[in-house]
Amino acid sequence: MKYYQRSSQLFKEAQSVIPGGVNSPVRAFKAVGGTPVFIEKAKGAYLYDVDGNRLIDYINSWGPMILGHAYPAVVDAVVKKAKKGTSFGMPTEIETNIAALAISMVPNIDKIRFVNSGTEACMSAVRLARGFSNREKIIKFAGCYHGHSDSFLIQAGSGAVTFGSPNSPGVTQGTAKDTLLAPYNNLEAVKHILEANIDQIAAIIVEPVAGNMGCIPPAAGFLEGLRALCDTHNSVLIFDEVMTGFRLEKGGVQSLFGVAADIVCFGKVIGGGLPVGAFASRDEIMRCLAPEGPVYQAGTLSGNPLAMSAGHALLSALNSDSEIYDRLAKKTTYLKRGISKALMEHNIPHTINSIGSMLSVHFSETAVVDFNTASIADNNHFKQFFHGMLDAGVYVPPSAFESWFITDALSYEDLDFTIKAVETVANKLCEL
């Protein structure tokens, strides 16, 4: 049994000065109950909390720590750059260096603009698509998360061809009317919406591998179908690769599935763990962006030298390691098989989705292919699973609707430890 006395104390103190005690809602453990764990430090595959507990980490800062926490090349790059100044609000050479490196790694992009978060990247990509197409409406998919910009905080309306409604106070009906929703992995629904809104759809934005309803890969032909529909209707196809970019493959999902996007959004890995986002496209589209074109986008701290140095160091390491993605996929498969075997032996209904170094466990017998099927899983089982794993020394996402992220720093001993923990937890779950 692990104890979290100091974490509990710090959470109480945080609640008095920070809304909900956290700076991002998922950290508050609302989905699983209990007190959030406060972290003191991390190294490699491990988190060390303020109570002295060591935890094997399967969120890895929600994706960026693909090579492990405090990766030496990244730390060294940041420290070296910090000694020369932390921010200038002026151009630096490192911005050009990481831009050139990213463009060399990712297909179908000529230019890239750096921002400060994945939210900024997706928000700016949609604005650029609207400016380029001279249209206003977009299609997004239920359960896909593109940050907390107003355009993305929309839930389903009364029908597939109607606009959605705000799912957060502060988001206007005027914003909602320009956001149309479709079920993920459902091409027919997308086709129906496009045909009902001829010459009105600026863009389709999609997580090409969904990571915010658990890990949900695209169905066969889904991405290819979106590409064809966008070509037919002269709409811009935006891949939100904030999670998947540089994680599933050097060139992201475009390389993995051989499907070209018009605009690609990045975050997470591209910043090496520091706050960074980016969006990229071919020159024809990027020329519309200020100061070259009329579509305005700016950021005081965009291209921050510390973040650019961290990202450049991490991308360089990934780019030079020809076996990294194969190693990650093998570790993920090993873990998936071990978890599934442990749950099957205790007759616990489950579905495990995985692709590359992303994975999620759903306590459901139904295949999880979209938000609806993810929602019917047994959340009570997940709560018990989460806290059981935490007690065993393994930190998994504190929500059934979040993907796990595998790091290369994990050893097979770590994976075996994790599988053994699942066996222990499964024994308790079968008693519920």
Q: What is the per-residue pLDDT across 131-156, written as a single tens digit (0 to 9) for each?
A: 999 999 999 998 898 988 877 877 64
Q: Which of 320, 355, 376 is the last residue of a domain?
A: 320
Q: What is the per-residue pLDDT across 101-124, written as a single tens digit (0 to 9) for each?
A: 999 999 999 999 999 999 999 999
C-alpha distances in Å from residue 6, one per residue of 20, 51, 59, 304: 18, 6, 22, 34
Crossing angle, helix 412-429 and helix 379-392, to 10 degrees? 130
User: Does 240 participate in catalysis according to the annotation?
Assistant: yes
From the candidates 145, 184, 325, 395, which is the catalytic residue?
145
Q: Do residue 292 and residue 347 come from a single domain?
A: no
Distance CA 211, CA 198 (A): 30
Q: Do residue 60 and residue 86 come from a single domain?
A: no
From the candidates 49, 57, 178, 240, which is the catalytic residue?
240
Mean pLDDT along residues 79-83: 98
User: Does 48 participate in catalysis according to the annotation?
Assistant: no
Number of domains in the chain: 2
Provide CB contacts within 8 A for 114, sequence distance 6+: 95, 98, 99, 276, 277, 278, 302, 303, 308
Q: Which of 276, 293, 320 is the last residue of a domain?
A: 320
Q: Which of 274, 293, 320 is the last residue of a domain?
A: 320
- Indicate if the pLDDT at residue 167 is higher than 80: no
Token pair, residue 144, equals 């896909």
Q: Do residue 194 and residue 271 come from a single domain?
A: yes
Q: Do residue 56 and residue 161 come from a single domain?
A: no
Q: What is the per-residue pLDDT across 240-283, written as a single tens digit (0 to 9) for each?
A: 999 999 999 999 999 999 999 999 999 999 999 999 999 999 99
Q: Do residue 50 and residue 108 come from a single domain?
A: no
According to the model, what pLDDT value does residue 157 have? 42
Q: Do residue 248 and residue 299 come from a single domain?
A: yes
Residue 276 φ then ψ, to 5°: -145, 140
Q: Do residue 298 and residue 355 come from a single domain?
A: no
User: Does 268 participate in catalysis according to the annotation?
Assistant: yes
Mean pLDDT of the chain: 93
**83 three-state secondary structure:** coil
What order do you get walking across the sheet with 404-405 strand by strand?
351-355, 358-362, 404-405
Q: Do residue 250 and residue 164 come from a single domain?
A: yes
The widest CA-to-CA distance across the chain, in whole angstroms, is 64
Q: Do residue 142 and residue 113 come from a single domain?
A: yes
Q: What share of the chain has pLDDT > 70, as a percent?
A: 96
Q: Do residue 134 and residue 203 come from a single domain?
A: yes
pTM of the model: 0.95
With beta carbons less than 8 A apart as the criterion, state whether 49 and 7 touch.
Answer: yes
From the candidates 81, 137, 250, 268, which is the catalytic residue?
268
Q: What is the per-residue pLDDT across 284-312, written as a single tens digit (0 to 9) for each?
A: 999 999 999 999 999 999 999 999 999 99
CATH code for position 409: 3.90.1150.10
Distance CA 118, CA 32 (A): 25
- Indicate if the pLDDT at residue 387 is higher than 80: yes
CATH code for position 270: 3.40.640.10
Q: Measure the CA dihedral 314/270/389/370, to 10°.
A: -140
Q: Do residue 316 and residue 406 come from a single domain?
A: no
- Indicate if the pLDDT at residue 172 is higher than 80: no
Q: Do residue 193 and residue 92 come from a single domain?
A: yes
Mean pLDDT along residues 165-189: 85
What is the residue range of 58's domain?
Answer: 5-70+323-429
Q: What is the per-residue pLDDT across 188-229, written as a single tens digit (0 to 9) for each?
A: 999 999 999 999 999 999 999 999 999 999 999 999 999 999
Q: What is the per-residue pLDDT across 41-67, written as a single tens digit (0 to 9) for each?
A: 999 999 999 999 999 999 999 999 999
